[in-house]
Chains A and B, each alone.
Chain A
Amino acid sequence: MTQESLITDEIRSWIGHETPPWTIEASRLDIKRFAVATDDPNPLYLDEEHAKQSPYGGLIAPPLFYMAPLTNPVSETELRPDGLPYEGKFPIPPTPLPRLMDGGTEIEFFAPIRAGDTITGRCKITDIYQKEGRSGPLIFVVRESTYTNQNGEIVLIEKGAAILR
């Protein structure tokens, strides 16, 4: 690669950076709300009797329910003009590239989230690298989030990337 690296030591030092853990209460009501808001009629999330007869033995949450609290609730005065909080849930180091794109999501599931569970999420930056895109340099910020239930059991691991351009 002949291009100049935009990744300074300061940006590189963000690798390994961890966010404070956050928790999600998987209440029956929020599971139902999430299922309705994603147009998902699966009775495993909605019908207690059906769920009891299933291999799960009770209500579970849809696979992507863990995404429910996408942002931390902050007051309106702390939101940017586009409506997003100044500080997102996932850490992004300051770079000279202004635009942020979703670089995809990869999830491995280990156990279902059950109604009544308390899920704890933790996120860490695992890599930062640069690539040459069609319109100029791109910086990839790769993160790994681990979600555990109240028994300390890992329910899922999500790998994702933010692309700055």
Chain B
Amino acid sequence: MAAEQVYFEDVEVGMALPPLHKKPSNTLLFLYSAITWNPQRIHYDKDYTLTEGYRDVIVHGPLRGAFLSQLVTHWVGDEGILKKLSYANRDIAYVNEPLTCKGTVTRTWTEDGKGYVECEIWVENEQGAKLTPGQATVILPRKA
């Protein structure tokens, strides 16, 4: 997945994760509604969505969670493990809005011989607003 496997020893507090760019289209929202069997109309029916006071259909909160999980799993590669993930959807994102998932390493430690890394992660919009702040803890492989 990742071009090169990242190791615990490569990581320092303050380091940025490679950002992940997304622009969820109507089609992607439809597919996500379908696979999650989510009939809520604000994700596909614009006429209805306008009656709830939004200007367009909105991106599912858990889809933004999935993007954040992807930011982390992409970075840790096949040999890294996502141990904890948390996020909260603070503000909405509209269909076709460019979103960027970002992260920063906040803490590193070893426990039982394993290398743990904690990161602040978030989804931001073009204005730089953090729509979905979160946190992740990963276990990275160690160099022998």
Contacts and interface: CB of A to CB of B under 8 A. Distances in A.
A84 B73 contact: no
A103 B88 contact: yes
B79 A63 contact: no
B57 to A, nearest CB: 12
B96 interface: no
B32 A38 contact: yes
Nearest to A73: B37
Interface string B19-39: 000101000100110111111
A39 B70 CA distance: 9
Interface in A38-97: 38-40, 42-44, 54-56, 62-64, 67-71, 73, 79, 82-85
Interface stretch (B10-18, B61-69, B103-111, B113-121): B61-69
B3 interface: no
A37 interface: yes
A63 B45 contact: no
B52 A37 contact: no
Contact of B32 (A30, A37, A42, A108): A37
B6 interface: no
Q: Give chain A's interface secondary structure class.
A: mixed
A37 B86 contact: no
B62 A83 contact: no
A4 interface: no
A55 B79 contact: yes
Contacts of B28: 37, 39
A105 B62 CA distance: 9
A82 B83 contact: no
Contacts of A62: 66, 69-70, 73
Q: For the side of the interface on A, what is the size category?
A: 35 or more
Q: How large is the interface on B (under 10, 10 to 19, 20 to 34, 35 or more residues)?
A: 35 or more
B127 interface: no
B22 A71 contact: no
A34 to B, nearest CB: 5
A38 B70 contact: yes
A17 interface: no
A64 B31 contact: no
A69 B86 contact: no
A67 B65 CA distance: 11
Contacts of B89: 102, 104
Contacts of A34: 35
A106 interface: yes
Interface of B: 1, 22, 24, 28, 31-32, 34-42, 45, 48, 52, 61-63, 65-67, 69-70, 73-74, 78-79, 81-89
Interface of A: 30, 33-34, 36-40, 42-44, 54-56, 62-64, 67-71, 73, 79, 82-85, 102-109
